[in-house]
Amino acid sequence: MSVLTPDEIQNSLAAIRPRLLGFARLQLRSAAAAEDAVQEAMLAAVEGASKFQGAAAFQTWVFSILKNKIIDELRRASRTQADVDVEAALDEVVAELFDEKEHWIEMPAAWGDPHASLEQKRFWEVMDACLTVLSASPARVFMMREFLGLETDEICKELAISSSNCWVLLHRARLGLRECLGLRWFGENAT
Amino acid sequence: MTTCKHATELMSQGMDRKLSLPERLRLRAHLLICSGCRNTRGHFRFLREAIHRHPWYPDSDDGLDKDA
């Protein structure tokens, strides 16, 4: 394999642009912010492209630049958005799911073979809708943990929150997503 | 007695940090008697796996270089 030519760099970026945008949009929850982050990542990528042999390595690297841009942007967003009271936000979800003895009001049912869903296009539409209806702070922490693969202590540092708040937010995000997918995809009974 | 709410907190945290031995024992005892929480444990694991196979996830199955 030889160093990428300018044409190969262009083609390579054009090929992954939709995916970069989708990835950024889901996490930043704003088309404009996603466009900006992808634009910046692509520009940075072009400057360093000569170091790469082969499109695959180059594309992986573009994604890693984009990840860092997204983390910067999430950090900025967490500072500027009025931070909701984390405990209160959780209580609201918890009140809907658990009774006063903290047992399930509606027991989560088995989901059969959930992995079969991963092959269905419609499943991802529901998943993205469920991610989008999560409120901002749990969604931000969940995305950093699961999409960007950060450890919780890194997330705490980036967002300047305590680790217990981090766990509260992750718990809330997982319960919220579980509930949403259960109702909207796996056919658990609505109450 | 561990409540379902607390069990779901432990299951969630167990995905982000190593639980202590007492925490693990409490969780295990609760799961033995609670099918709702057993199902939830599977759902939490599935969520992580699903996100990692999301069509826009950088390393997901269909590969970055499919059009390259």
Residue A7 pLDDT grade (very low, low, confident, very high; cuts 50, 70, 90): confident
* Domain A6-80 coded CATH 1.10.1740: yes
**Alpha carbon distance, N-terminus to C-terminus of chain A:** 59
- Tell me whether A60 touches chain B (CB under 8 Å): yes
Would you identify the CATH topology of the domain A86-184? Arc Repressor Mutant, subunit A (1.10.10)
The dihedral built from the CA positions of residue A189, B49, A66 and A77, taken in this order, carries a sign that is positive
Residue A125: name the closest of A26, A191, A29 by CA: A26
Contacts of A182 in chain B (CB under 8 A): 43
Contacts of A26 in chain B (CB under 8 A): 56
User: Residue A41 in contact with residue A17, Cβ under 8 Å?
Assistant: no
Name the pTM for this structure: 0.85
Best residue in A59, A61, A104, A175 for a mutation probing chain B (most B CBs within 10 Å) = A104
- Tell me whether A102 touches chain B (CB under 8 Å): yes
Q: What is the ipTM of this complex?
A: 0.88
A108-119 pLDDT, tens digit per residue, is 999 989 999 999
pLDDT of residue B39: 97
- Tell me whether A98 touches chain B (CB under 8 Å): yes
The dihedral built from the CA positions of residue A70, A76, A81 and A85, taken in this order, carries a sign that is positive
**How far apart, in whole angstroms, are the C-alpha atoms of residue A165 and residue A130?**
22
Contacts of A49 in chain B (CB under 8 A): none
User: What is the average pLDDT across A182-191?
Assistant: 82
Domain boundaries, chain A: 6-80, 86-184
Tell me how close the Cα of B61 comes to any Cα of chain A, in angstroms: 11
Contacts of B52 in chain A (CB under 8 A): 146
Contact B3 A103 (CB under 8 A): yes
**How far apart, in whole angstroms, are the C-alpha atoms of residue B30 and residue A125?**
34
Residue B37 pLDDT grade (very low, low, confident, very high; cuts 50, 70, 90): very high
A122-171 pLDDT, tens digit per residue, is 999 999 999 988 888 888 899 999 999 899 999 988 888 889 989 999 99
Can you list the alpha helix ranges (DSSP code H) found in chain B? 4-13, 21-33, 35-52
